[in-house]
Chain A
């Protein structure tokens, strides 16, 4: 669910609208819709812990727990190596994790993650996947490959609504003082330096996948301070610059710049340097259904291997095999799998409740904290009325908003006229502590969220209430790990990154933040380590 933006222009952000342009119209009923996010209820069932004893035991060479991007990538790599004797267990009714999509008569639309930046040169597995899907043309290792045009985000990619006007790019351009611009330019220059920098071993300062980053102590020390404090320590106090960086942190990590480590914050700006023959570096790849095409691409040919609606409630490494107990709600019974090799590709906050007999990992998992998110899909019968300024973009950000803005599902369409559309509105509940935010997420009704979102969107789109026909809300109690200061390089992740004889971990949580490339890297790495144990030859997708 990461949302990443690059800088398209100079400027800085500040100020707040004096008056809301339009007061909410009371009495207008809230459009119908669904409240999604079943992981909340299933997760509760896990905590209460009452499951029948397994009625059957099966043996399998390899089991993958979780069919999000990490688990699917592990399965993808195993299959590419010609090994297909494995099972992928998924708690939800379909695979894809945070990269799932919905679809209605108007369009497909993302339920979570919605884009992939042009892959870096280190992201070999990502490039191989894109080449397999025909989106990257030619050699996946080419420095500047050509990408399929319909997947490159159409112009204009992003705009910002501020003080009653839409402007191109995310950086405010009006009423910004020279000093703010200078600070912003200096910030950009520093990020460009970080992007170029390599250590004596030739590793990039901030690589993607992050495991390939330099371990130079001065860089790792950045993890001990917050992004906000780091900016201030550089002498950058511009409120505009701080808004901008804070937005980036909320957008990518679900928490504000004073809660994100400077290492993670800088990683956001400094890791992306992917190039294309037919697009600028800051272009992203996207589709109406967000990143679901990537999940579907990974899952191609794995249908027989994926077991949905399978609730794993206990995992234990017996020293000879990994015991995996799972409950099948549709059959109202449990079964036990004895796996020669197991890949845990579920979020790590589930470790303490499920992984038995490993206090070290349980303790490490407790050091993780998670950002709750809300994703709303608004179906509109026509494009809403617009305030003045630049026209609709793919990503539309509101300056003074609790939300992160919305993306337009039909943006990639070629049409003479704009017809009905679906807007996907994102909100990280970063203003509250994760615990309070989860409480709020659980206790707030769909109608209340919908009313709040309509109020927010009515500022730039006065007639939005007349256009919206439905609002679906997806709640993510644990959307993504939070890279708080001291976390990324503080040791909590390392036991999960280690290669153990039978059980290894494959989830973006192992990297510490939720990016497609990280999840895929962890999945492929776990698969390759598993193939090593099974003595099956393969060509690595990691270098």
Chain B
């Protein structure tokens, strides 16, 4: 019996430390500044334990029953702490800190009650010196084990939400075990047993569906109603709608808003294509939403458009969903359009065809894998696919928010001997956005647009090629496969913007 209680001290101590670490890690994760978060959380927690210990003198009767109930309370409160704090953060940012310290304080106070109670239960059978030495030994051992397991096993394998639930379950199991150990001495056994079972069921089922918790939370990361969500082998595709505004998110990054996407896509396509009356063959890399293709198909001289997009889920969605085909004017179903679901780079390496106009709409260079697609090696590969008078338009991040990144793309294109013509446009949902036209000889903006536009006019086009002072050219290194400076610039610059 005593050994069993000591073992429960071990478990109880592990759980206590775990909640403290989880709260501190979660606070660091969402608020940053981990030194502050860890010290304030640990400080609050230890102080609360002191309060709990002090309060334990007021527990005078039914020690075992109180102990079991406290275990259940810690289990439920601690177990759901991470999930609750996470939701609190997603829903309302302001009182998050208040909630954090309240939760930490409550768990701390309850944990502070535990050890004095156990010592008093054990004191009935053991000498005081043995009680103190044994209880404290197991207390500290439990803390050690969790502090080692937390970074190595728990966070990487379970994550914070499920780790907390796991420890909640452990607390509840200790309660159940204590119930069994003292089953012959306890009053109202049935009622206590019901409490245990309810707590265990709550925690167990939450643990089982914890994967879904992130989905629920995700819904609140988007401000609008989610009308479509799917996870393809390549990415998470989410479409939201608010009134007439459709938005596409890929892996939580906004790709377009139907309110102003015409600005983005007109600027991507027309300054280049409008200067190529002889353009017959067009290639689009990325852009599975078909919106660039919609703009390209406005030119009657274009005979074929090849769209290479990795994800069949994207091209299928934008070929079939009525709201989306309305947006891209059923561009992907046009007989002129051939959709290829392949890795654009592999496809470029394996095909030798040349194109009069190429649209390059890759994601921003946020990691080394994508950074390669903005390297001098990539532009040399592109060069092999351009006809003699061909042009390519590249989306190349924001010259305002990521100024050096933008000019790095320009510098890199120039390093390969190609001509780079930088320009930009304002897309309200993105901000000021940058593009580069790639050509073999000097490029002249179009004097007129033969196709219908909502944004571009011949008179305003020249302004796209003017860079105001805060977006003017800055020095940048050439982005090479073997230095990947662009990813480093981009990381540095966007980190400053996001704050």
A residues apposed to B, CB below 8 Å = 17-19, 21-22, 149-150, 152-157, 164, 278-280, 283, 387-388, 391, 412-419, 462
Contacts of B346 in A (CB 8 A): 413, 415
* B483: Cβ under 8 A from any A Cβ: yes
Contacts of A150 in B (CB 8 A): 377, 481
Quick one: given A416-B344, A416-B373, A418-B369, are A152 and B152 in contact (CB under 8 Å)? no
Q: Are A417 and B234 in contact (CB under 8 A)?
A: yes
Q: Are B148 and A154 in contact (CB under 8 A)?
A: no
Chain B residue nearest in CB terms to A392: B368
Contacts of A391 in B (CB 8 A): 367-368
Q: Are A416 and B480 in contact (CB under 8 A)?
A: no
Write 22 A-B pairs (CB below 8 A) sorted by A numbering: A19-B148, A19-B149, A19-B152, A149-B376, A149-B480, A150-B481, A153-B482, A154-B372, A155-B368, A278-B482, A279-B480, A388-B156, A391-B367, A413-B346, A414-B373, A414-B377, A414-B381, A414-B481, A415-B343, A415-B346, A416-B310, A416-B370
Contact with A along B475-492 (1 / 0, CB 8 A): 000101111100000000
Contact of A164 among B151, B345, B370 (CB under 8 A): B151
Chain A residue nearest in CB terms to B285: A416
Contacts of B483 in A (CB 8 A): 155, 279-280
B residues apposed to A, CB below 8 Å = 148-149, 151-153, 156-157, 234, 310, 343-346, 349, 362, 367-370, 372-373, 375-378, 380-381, 478, 480-484
Q: Are B152 and A21 in contact (CB under 8 A)?
A: yes
Q: Are B480 and A415 in contact (CB under 8 A)?
A: no
Q: Are B378 and A278 in contact (CB under 8 A)?
A: no
Quick one: given A155-B484, A417-B310, are A21 and B148 in contact (CB under 8 Å)? no
Q: Are B369 and A416 in contact (CB under 8 A)?
A: yes
Contact residues of A: prevailing secondary structure = loop
Quick one: given A18-B148, A150-B481, A152-B482, are A416 and B368 in contact (CB under 8 Å)? no
Q: Given the complex of chains A and B, what is the CA–CA distance between A414 and B478 in angstroms? A: 17
Distance in Å: Cβ of B150 to nearest Cβ of chain A: 11
Contacts of B481 in A (CB 8 A): 149-150, 152, 154-155, 412, 414
Q: Given the complex of chains A and B, what is the CA–CA distance between A154 and B481 in angstroms? A: 5
Contacts of A413 in B (CB 8 A): 345-346
Distance in Å: Cβ of B413 to nearest Cβ of chain A: 14
Distance in Å: Cβ of A150 to nearest Cβ of chain B: 6
Contacts of A283 in B (CB 8 A): 482
Chain A residue nearest in CB terms to B482: A152
Chain A residue nearest in CB terms to B488: A155
Q: Given the complex of chains A and B, what is the CA–CA distance between A179 and B264 in angstroms? A: 55
Q: Are B152 and A279 in contact (CB under 8 A)?
A: no
Q: Are B368 and A156 in contact (CB under 8 A)?
A: yes
Distance in Å: Cβ of B279 to nearest Cβ of chain A: 25
Q: Given the complex of chains A and B, what is the CA–CA distance between A416 and B484 in angstroms? A: 15
Distance in Å: Cβ of B173 to nearest Cβ of chain A: 23
Distance in Å: Cβ of B91 to nearest Cβ of chain A: 28
Q: Are A278 and B480 in contact (CB under 8 A)?
A: yes
Q: Given the complex of chains A and B, what is the CA–CA distance between A19 and B157 in angstroms? A: 15
Contacts of A280 in B (CB 8 A): 482-483
Distance in Å: Cβ of B234 to nearest Cβ of chain A: 6
Chain B residue nearest in CB terms to A164: B152
Chain A residue nearest in CB terms to B371: A155
**Apart from A17-B152, A19-B153, A155-B481, what 13 extra A-B contacts exist at CB < 8 Å?**
A149-B482, A157-B482, A279-B480, A279-B482, A391-B368, A414-B373, A414-B375, A414-B378, A415-B343, A415-B345, A415-B369, A417-B234, A418-B369
The 9 closest A-B pairs by CB, nearest first: A155-B484, A152-B482, A154-B481, A414-B345, A414-B372, A149-B377, A415-B343, A415-B345, A416-B343
Q: Given the complex of chains A and B, what is the CA–CA distance between A387 and B367 in angstroms? A: 17
Chain B residue nearest in CB terms to A412: B481
Contacts of B148 in A (CB 8 A): 18-19
Distance in Å: Cβ of A20 to nearest Cβ of chain B: 9
Quick one: given A149-B480, A278-B480, A416-B362, are A387 and B156 in contact (CB under 8 Å)? yes
Q: Given the complex of chains A and B, what is the CA–CA distance between A173 and B140 in angstroms? A: 30
Contact of A149 among B234, B362, B373, B380 (CB under 8 A): B380
Q: Are B484 and A154 in contact (CB under 8 A)?
A: yes
Contacts of B378 in A (CB 8 A): 414
Q: Are B482 and A155 in contact (CB under 8 A)?
A: yes
Q: Given the complex of chains A and B, what is the CA–CA distance between A278 and B483 in angstroms? A: 9
Contacts of A155 in B (CB 8 A): 368, 481-484
Q: Given the complex of chains A and B, what is the CA–CA distance between A17 and B376 in angstroms? A: 41
Contacts of B380 in A (CB 8 A): 149
Contacts of B362 in A (CB 8 A): 416
Q: Given the complex of chains A and B, what is the CA–CA distance between A149 and B377 in angstroms? A: 6
Q: Given the complex of chains A and B, what is the CA–CA distance between A279 and B377 in angstroms? A: 13
Contacts of B375 in A (CB 8 A): 149, 414
Distance in Å: Cβ of B124 to nearest Cβ of chain A: 38
Q: Given the complex of chains A and B, what is the CA–CA distance between A279 and B149 in angstroms? A: 42
Distance in Å: Cβ of B259 to nearest Cβ of chain A: 28
Q: Given the complex of chains A and B, what is the CA–CA distance between A346 and B376 in angstroms? A: 42
Distance in Å: Cβ of A137 to nearest Cβ of chain B: 13
Contacts of B349 in A (CB 8 A): 414
Q: Are A21 and B484 in contact (CB under 8 A)?
A: no
Contacts of A18 in B (CB 8 A): 148, 152
Q: Are B368 and A21 in contact (CB under 8 A)?
A: no
Q: Are B345 and A416 in contact (CB under 8 A)?
A: yes
Distance in Å: Cβ of B149 to nearest Cβ of chain A: 8
Distance in Å: Cβ of A412 to nearest Cβ of chain B: 8
Distance in Å: Cβ of A307 to nearest Cβ of chain B: 36
Distance in Å: Cβ of A503 to nearest Cβ of chain B: 43
Contacts of A412 in B (CB 8 A): 481
Distance in Å: Cβ of A420 to nearest Cβ of chain B: 12
Distance in Å: Cβ of B351 to nearest Cβ of chain A: 14
Distance in Å: Cβ of A152 to nearest Cβ of chain B: 4
Contacts of A156 in B (CB 8 A): 368, 484
Q: Given the complex of chains A and B, what is the CA–CA distance between A157 and B381 in angstroms? A: 22
Distance in Å: Cβ of B308 to nearest Cβ of chain A: 10
Scoring B367, B369, B478 by chain A CB atoms within 10 A of each residue's CB, the highest score goes to: B369
Scoring B346, B378, B478 by chain A CB atoms within 10 A of each residue's CB, the highest score goes to: B346
Contacts of B152 in A (CB 8 A): 17-19, 21, 164
Contacts of B482 in A (CB 8 A): 149, 152-155, 157, 278-280, 283
Q: Given the complex of chains A and B, what is the CA–CA distance between A164 and B156 in angstroms? A: 10
Chain A residue nearest in CB terms to B309: A416
Q: Given the complex of chains A and B, what is the CA–CA distance between A246 and B497 in angstroms? A: 44
Distance in Å: Cβ of B182 to nearest Cβ of chain A: 35
Contacts of A279 in B (CB 8 A): 480, 482-483
Q: Given the complex of chains A and B, what is the CA–CA distance between A194 and B141 in angstroms? A: 52
Q: Given the complex of chains A and B, what is the CA–CA distance between A280 and B480 in angstroms? A: 11
Q: Are A21 and B377 in contact (CB under 8 A)?
A: no
Scoring A153, A156, A279, A416 by chain B CB atoms within 10 A of each residue's CB, the highest score goes to: A416
Q: Given the complex of chains A and B, what is the CA–CA distance between A283 and B483 in angstroms? A: 10
Q: Given the complex of chains A and B, what is the CA–CA distance between A279 and B375 in angstroms? A: 14
Q: Given the complex of chains A and B, what is the CA–CA distance between A19 and B152 in angstroms? A: 8
Contacts of B480 in A (CB 8 A): 149, 152, 278-279
Q: Given the complex of chains A and B, what is the CA–CA distance between A391 and B366 in angstroms? A: 12
Contacts of A22 in B (CB 8 A): 153
Contacts of B344 in A (CB 8 A): 416
Q: Given the complex of chains A and B, what is the CA–CA distance between A154 and B344 in angstroms? A: 19
Q: Are B343 and A417 in contact (CB under 8 A)?
A: yes
Q: Given the complex of chains A and B, what is the CA–CA distance between A154 and B373 in angstroms? A: 12
Q: Given the complex of chains A and B, what is the CA–CA distance between A418 and B233 in angstroms? A: 12
Chain A residue nearest in CB terms to B286: A416
Chain B residue nearest in CB terms to A150: B377
Distance in Å: Cβ of B100 to nearest Cβ of chain A: 23
Q: Given the complex of chains A and B, what is the CA–CA distance between A413 and B347 in angstroms? A: 12
Distance in Å: Cβ of B482 to nearest Cβ of chain A: 4
Quick one: given A152-B482, A416-B345, A417-B234, are A21 and B372 in contact (CB under 8 Å)? no
Q: Given the complex of chains A and B, what is the CA–CA distance between A387 and B157 in angstroms? A: 10
Contacts of A415 in B (CB 8 A): 343, 345-346, 369, 372
Distance in Å: Cβ of A521 to nearest Cβ of chain B: 26
Contacts of A418 in B (CB 8 A): 369
Contacts of A388 in B (CB 8 A): 156
